[in-house]
Amino acid sequence: MASYLRTITGSSSSNTSSSIPTDTLGKRLVKWALIIGVPTAVCVAAYLVYRQQQEQAKKSATRRSPLPTPLSKVNEDTTTTSENRLKNRLTLAIDLKNEGNLKYREQNFNEAIEAYSRAIEVCPVESTEELSQFYQNRAATWELLKDYEKVVEDCSKAIELNPKYVKCIQRRARAAETMGNFELALEDYSTVCFIDSYQPAYIMAADKVLTDLAKRYLENLPPSTAELSKDYVRTSLNEFEDDPILNESFINEIRTSQPDSSLARAYQAFDEGRFTDIPSLCTNELESTDDSPYKLQTLLLRGSFYLLMGNYAEAVADFDAIINDPNVTEKIKMNAELKRANTKIHQRDLEGAMYQYDECIRNHPNECSPHVHRGMLKTLLESYNEAHDDFIEALKISPTNLRAKYQKLINDAKIGAKEHQSESIEQALNNFEEYYDTCKQDIYYALAITSCYLDNDRKDRALEYLNKFVKEIPSNPTLLALKAYE
């Protein structure tokens, strides 16, 4: 597939003569990230990717030659024979793919690649869905062999056949990032953000790529560029409902009872946007006394910002210390468990993240949030039916939980799209609209419903809601940026 971000123009995406060079685009995205915040830059990039994708799809449809229509006098037996040959070739290709899967599970990777290659060779070109899967399977094998150039090559072929192949786009992004091709990695992470309703895990991945782009394109970066943006921090922390470290009563208690403490200064840094100062201030608090009544909250605050800064080992150490403390409350322990699982996602250990979500649910069977978080991960993994079960369970526990409600609707729309059930998609979108009055100032809701409409080729409704959200949340940089690039 063409590299969409490399051909975005300032006026019309069809005007190839005014394409933005890669280095100019990199600088522009870095500027967005540093000025308006990483999530905003990612959302803008994702929208531009979508817009360019639509133009490319139209051009491809125009250029594509129609399949030859059989002449009326062609013998029907000949047509039937041709169809049978195609079916036989597809059946053989699927058998070869299954053989490759077996070799893959047995870790005979070279034999797996050989089987997948033969499947690609015999597969009819008309069977685009199957052919894209064969390329993706071979790419997965190349990834285990650390041949990242071939990963990108095979993923690109799969994506050309299936432009919304999320798993394959993710894989190409990882390979591109490993190779240092940050422009392609950003393009792919932005595309996945858009297709999967701006899930925080993808925003975090794009954040890392934007940081790497900044290091590459901007010389002599001032120290302030290392700071986390307020928009980014707010979006990321919002992922955890009822976060104890953001409880206003607790923060007021600290400021009243210990106004000169390092923990109080950490919250002052939070208010002033000096986020990278927070871990060291928390360390000072922990080292100042052995019996602080706020030890666990301080660890949780420090671990949370280690996570946001990408210091994953330090974050996990803090979360583990909280979880293993005999005096920890259920709310603080659950929050630490969820953030530890979230750290695993950012480390790309999805199996480890799923295990920890399972453990969190066992430890807190009557809590809604663990089911919501596990359901979101299952949606990312395209296990839509299992995700559905988690969202249903979350709503049984907390029927009014809005996050569970609209995450379920995102998942419902994806089930409908996967099963080609237009009525299910429409029902999910209509139900989404019912929460507008309640959620119209929730940025997650705004991005979710907008991207759901665009993902289902309903640009008119997406733009209608985008205009509404800009009026409701007039100072939000993400919505303003999307509106500016409309």
Give whole-number Cα distances, 201 to 30, 39, 131, 336, 434, in Å: 19, 11, 29, 17, 27
| Residue with the larger pLDDT of the pair 408 and 32 | 408
473 pLDDT band, cuts 50/70/90, is: confident
| Helix, strand, coil in percent for the chain, rounding step 5 | 75, 0, 25
- The answer to whether 231 touches 477, Cβ cutoff 8 Å, is yes
pLDDT at residue number 480? 63
Average pLDDT, the chain: 77
Greater confidence (389 vs 376) lies with 389
Question: In whole angstroms, what is the distance from residue 77 CA to residue 470 CA?
Answer: 61
From residue 131, how far is each of 107, 112, 148, 255 by CA, in Å? 22, 16, 20, 61
Instruction: Evaluate if residue 74 carries a pLDDT over 60.
Output: no
Is 0.75 surpassed by the pTM of this model?
no
DSSP state of 291: S
Summarised one tens digit per residue, pLDDT across range 380-433 is 778 899 999 999 999 999 999 888 988 898 889 888 888 888 888 888 888 888
- At 301 the three-state DSSP class reads helix
Q: In terms of C-beta density within 10 A (0-12 exposed, 13-18 middle, 19 or more buried), how is residue 443 classed?
A: buried
What is d(CA 287, CA 16) in angstroms, rounded to the nearest whole number? 59
**Residue (of 484, 452, 456) closest to 465 by Cα position:** 452
Per DSSP, the residues of 223-278 read: GGGGSPPHHHHHHHHTTSTT-GGG-HHHHHHHHHH-TTSHHHHHHHHHHHT-GGGH
Q: What is the pLDDT of residues 15-26, one digit of tens each?
A: 323 333 444 444
The structure tokens listed for 358 are 């399972």
Q: Is the per-residue pLDDT at 248 higher than 60?
A: yes
Burial zone of 239 (CB within 10 Å; 0-12 exposed, 13-18 middle, 19+ buried): buried
Residue 328: CB partners within 8 Å, gap ≥ 6? 296, 322, 336
Write the pLDDT tens digit of every residue in 209-234.
Answer: 665 655 554 444 343 334 566 766 77
With 70 as the cut, is the pLDDT of residue 133 above it? yes
> For the chain, which domains are there?
1-57+180-221 (no CATH), 84-162 (1.25.40.10), 243-323+332-342 (1.25.40), 365-486 (1.25.40.10)
What span, in angstroms and rounded, lies between the C-alpha atoms of 345 and 304? 14
Task: Considering only residues 468 and 202, tell me which one the structure prediction assigns the higher pLDDT.
Answer: 468
Return the structure tokens found at 119: 């499947």
Mean pLDDT of 347-369: 92
* Centroid of chain to Cα 55: 23
